[in-house]
Structures are given as C-alpha cells and as structure tokens.
Amino acid sequence: MVSNPHDVKTLEALQKRLGYAFSNTQYLKLALTHSSFSATNNVRLEFLGDSVLRLILSDELFHTLPSADPGTLTQQRIECENNVHLAEIARTLGLDECMLLGKGARRDGGGHSNSSLAGAMEALLAAVYLDSSLATVRDVVFAHIVPHLPIHKHPKTLLQERLMQQLGELPSYEVMSADTNSRHTDSQINVQCVVNSLELTTEGTGATRKEAETAAAIEMLRLVPA
C-alpha cells in the first residue's frame, strides 16, 4: 500500500491504466475518497455513476438481445452490474491501492470489500462523465467492463459454455410451431430449448428460428446459474 494514495505518480498511473486523462483531477480524487475518510466523499458520485452505467448497459442489451422482453433485459442488466463484477474490474485497475480510507476502514479492510470497490468503480465512471461526456464514459465501459460480462457473448454460446462446464452436455433446440401465414405481417416461430439432465425446458418466439432459439436460450440462462 502506498503511503499517499493520491500522490501525482499514483494517480497518473491509474489514469494510464484507465485510458483516460482527467482535465480536472479533483473529480478523480473525489471518486477515490471513501465515506470513512471524510464527509466529502464519493457517495454522490457513486449514485450518478450507477445511473450512467445502467444507461450504457441498457442500451447495449437492447441492441444485443433484440428478441428479449423487458423482464429478461432487466435480469441480464442486474447480472452485469453486480458488485462482484465491478469489484473485480476495480481491483484490476488498482482502485484498491488508490482509495483514501479512514483508519477504521483501513484496519478492518472494509474499504476494500466488493461493495466499496464496486461503489468506487461507479464513482469513477461518474467522474469521467463529469469531466468529459457520455460517449467517453461509454468508451471506458466498453474497454474495461463489457469484455468481462455475459452480454459480450451471444446467449446461445454462453449457455453452451455454461452447460459444458457444469454438466458436459449441450442444450437442444426444437421448433414447436411456425406461423408463416402470408396474411400476417410478421411470421412467428416458437422454439423449445431443452436440457435433458436438468429436466428443464424453456420456450422462445421470434420472426426467425435464430431469434426464437436466442430467446429460448436467454430464458434457460435464467434457470441455470453461473
């Protein structure tokens, strides 16, 4: 642990790892100030950063999973923004070495818990946003957060990998019905996804078989824990 987490060299190294240089480093310092250290801390930035991250993830999920219903999109977003993921990214960036902590938090390790580091990560995103723009924050999110999250992979690929790792088994897909009546503007194909060893079956609907299989895979991912 460095003696002064906010010395110039330490913060410069962090900005290099982050891939963004602050115009106003006060935003950066505030993002790295734990509530145990001062009444002026990163709590408000954490609130803003949570909203900024949620918007970016929601936009990515909306375009990545075109057949998913709002409930599925919400569930996927919750998995993406959980504290464990964000804390891992924070540690990779070295935020745990840059935090200003009160004596009690430093002694007990509370400032380096998953919740504290996830909060610091969200505060850091807010700091980038205030110092620059939403487009710049999006670049930071896509550089450091999205590549480590499930949404970076196609749902069928993610399900296949998860089942092979846990069960050594692949899911199967079967078309149950297909409404291609020319009187209808949109065709509707219904597909089942089956995991035999778990005796689980989900359904998905889409304009194409690929969309329907994707929707069914998303539902199965909700039933098969990581």
The residues annotated as belonging to the active site are 50, 122
Q: Which helix (H) or strand (E) segment is 178 a member of? A: strand 172-179
Widest CA span of the chain, in angstroms?
73
- Rounded Cα distance, 162 and 119, in Å: 28
Give 103's contacts (C-beta < 8 A, 6+ positions apart).
none
Lateral strand order in the sheet of 188-195: 172-179, 188-195, 200-206
Q: What are the percentages of helix, strand and coil residues in the chain, rounded to 5?
A: 60, 10, 25
Q: Is-contact 125 51, C-beta < 8 A? A: no
